[in-house]
Amino acid sequence: MRKDAGTLRDLQLALQLKIEELRQRDALIDELELELDTKDDLIRQLQVELDRHRSASQHAASSADAASTGESRTKRQAISAEPTALDPSQLTDVTLTSYCKTKESRELIQRALMDNDFMKHLEHGQILTIMDCMYPTSLAKGCCVIQEGDDGSTVYVLEEGQVEVTKQGKKLCSIGPGKVFGELAILYNCTRTATVTALTDIKLWAIDRQGFQTIMMRTGLIKHSQYTDFLRSVPSFQSLPEDVLSKLADVLEETHYTDGDYIIRQGATGDTFFIISEGQVRNDDNSDKQVKTLTKGDWFGEQALKG
């Protein structure tokens, strides 16, 4: 169903306002990023100082992420003092390797990822790829899997055995099979928030930072390009410049409704603008007593863009 020209003009005006707002926010973000860079430099200097004061024996004892090699090793020499996120330009260089697993292991890993508060919101495809790329490793009772304060390089799922999580020497909890750990440092690009020690001989599934971040970023970039393509396919948006489509794609989120769900109720305050990518929506507009059917590419909820 076509919208009238007046509504389209309103929508375009509202979009321009939103774009201007986004531009201003970008400028502010640039300023804040500069400030952050300065602070990062300071943190780096302080971290280098701190590293210098750590004794060699402490390094050997901490041997973070020993499980990624299957044996103890000293803390890696950091090129940068803080963990770094993957550069998007490296994405194509990273080859993801799949590792064979039994059906039980595949299910255990999937359940563990979907049960973890920080990972349960990942897309199903991402969970499957992470699961595919996890490799097996094992450690003996008493080994330190993760040392608090170290750079993190691996996310784990425990398959067999028990580990203990401690922070500044105090026990936080024990973890058993079917649980994820070591995700925080990788997801939030921070140092390890706690120490994890094997209470028994343990079997683990592991994925390294680079593989993990590649899966996260590739999916993000693919999604962005799909959203931009979708917006470009909507007749009302076809005349918008590429950078505007790209910005709209940044803020686009996919939502699903089942047959019969209400999306917007008349009279409710609207804060979302919708574009239909699949299916049909019935619009009962009481003002003219007409029932309209909206389909792919049609949009509604444009009042939300006017703030």
Cβ 148 to ligand CMP, closest distance in Å?
7
Q: Which of 216, 244, 217 is nearest to 228 (CA)?
A: 244
Q: Which of 130, 196, 206, 245 binds ligand CMP (CB under 6 A)?
A: 196
Buried/exposed code over 50-77 (b: 16+ C-beta within 10 A; e: otherwise): eeeeeeeeebeebbbbbbbeeeeeebee
Per-residue binding string, ligand CMP, 114-153, x by CB under 6 A, is: --------------------------------x-----x-
* Residue closer to ligand CMP, measured from CB, 72 or 236: 72
Q: Which amino acid is at 130?
A: I
Cβ 113 to ligand CMP, closest distance in Å?
12
Cβ 116 to ligand CMP, closest distance in Å?
8
Is there binding between residue 18 and ligand CMP (CB under 6 A)? no
Buried/exposed code over 253-281 (b: 16+ C-beta within 10 A; e: otherwise): eeeeeeeeeeebeeeeebeebbbbbeeeb
* Residue closer to ligand CMP, measured from CB, 185 or 249: 185
CA distance 95 to 241: 34
Distances (CA, A) of 224 to 230, 243, 250, 277, 300: 10, 12, 7, 15, 22
CA distance 181 to 170: 17
Q: Which of 14, 96, 119, 184 binds ligand CMP (CB under 6 A)?
A: 184
Q: Which of 83, 161, 182, 211 binds ligand CMP (CB under 6 A)?
A: 182
Is there binding between residue 83 and ligand CMP (CB under 6 A)? no
Binding site for ligand CMP (CB under 6 A): 146, 152, 165, 172-173, 181-185, 192-194, 196
